Structure 1
């Protein structure tokens, strides 16, 4: 593999044009994060650049520990966890009366949220679960507890896990299974 330099001095690998669309998806989120860091640095926004660098550091550490580049859904999962951590910190700092830290953590959560795709709405989750349930014969739905694992496995084979709330999916699947078994 050889590398090319464009007029701006950036390096591009020659095999970039031959990558698959799945690879482009995770590169897109990584490229967006990197571009966000660059933009924040150009605008001298230290909070945004520090926040995005810390998230990229988590992603790179994940890459190192797994031995390969993490998928886009894994990167989105890292982003969602970073947002959750900051929102929990906001709640704790609010209890402690630390408004200066509340504002900073809230801003960091907002910065990271700009890079996260929206969650799938409950109506679409129900629609996808109904499609999964329609694939199974009636006798398999007789015991909802036994069918739940198969339904969830099939559901997640069709839907990216990082785009849904897992607890909501499980609750909706249980509700639909019990409704079908009655």
Structure 2
């Protein structure tokens, strides 16, 4: 079962059980994917967006939910922060297991050595390679810090 099919199936189940938070979150995910499909068709990719693009969409939605929850918490709106965290949990259930910090460090080291990166000027190439290989699993903010540290050590 593809990720799209799983989301649709889960949406139907949530509608049957009247789980309003799950229904609204899954509809939000579907809307974001459909929006990206429309953009892909405009680029002459009739099949729509592929799995890595869907995973990138989910990561973006997850990050938005986490940032919103933090903002609400700082503003003293714990009810809204709790709702955002519940939505983040639903979104994260469709992403693969996130990489641990040690795995991120190892992947960064591998990419830096494979690309024979020699300094900060190669940061973009390294990050592009990581995004190509680990979309949906890696926290690229942490990976960027790791790559930068490695490249600064070589400069």
Query: How would you bin the TM-score normalised by the shorter chain?
Result: 0.7 to 0.9
The aligned counterpart of 1:161 is 135
C-alpha distance in 2 between matches for 1:105 and 1:163: 21
Q: TM-score, normalised by structure 1?
A: 0.68
Displacement of 1:117: 1.6
Q: Distance in 1 between matches of 2:125 and 2:84?
A: 40
Mapped to 2, the partners of 1:136 and 1:172 lie a distance apart of: 15
| Deviation beyond 6 Å, 4+ runs, structure 1 | none
Residue of structure 2 equivalent to 1:129: 108
Distance in 2 of aligned mates of 1:50 and 1:179: 47
**Offset at 1:156?**
4.1
Does the alignment pair 1:63 with 2:37? yes
What CA distance in whole angstroms lies between the structure 2 residues aligned with 1:123 and 1:74? 25
Residue number in structure 2 paired with 1:24: none
Pick which of 105-114 and 126-135 moved more.
126-135
Q: Work out which of the residue numbers 107, 122, 126 in structure 2 matches 1:147.
A: 122
Residues 17-166 of structure 1 aligned to structure 2 (within 5 Å):
28-67=2-41, 68=45, 69-135=48-114, 141=118, 144-157=119-132, 159-166=133-140
**Superposition RMSD in Å:** 2.5
Residues 1:72 and 1:92: Cα distance change in structure 2 (over 3 Å): same
Q: Which has the higher contact order (CA 8 A, sep 6+)?
A: 2
Change (3 A) 1:176 1:48: same
Equivalent residue pairs, number: 150
Query: In the aligned structure 2, how far is the partner of 1:71 from the partner of 1:119?
Result: 19
TM-score relative to the length of structure 2: 0.78
Q: Distance in 2 between matches of 1:107 and 1:62?
A: 24
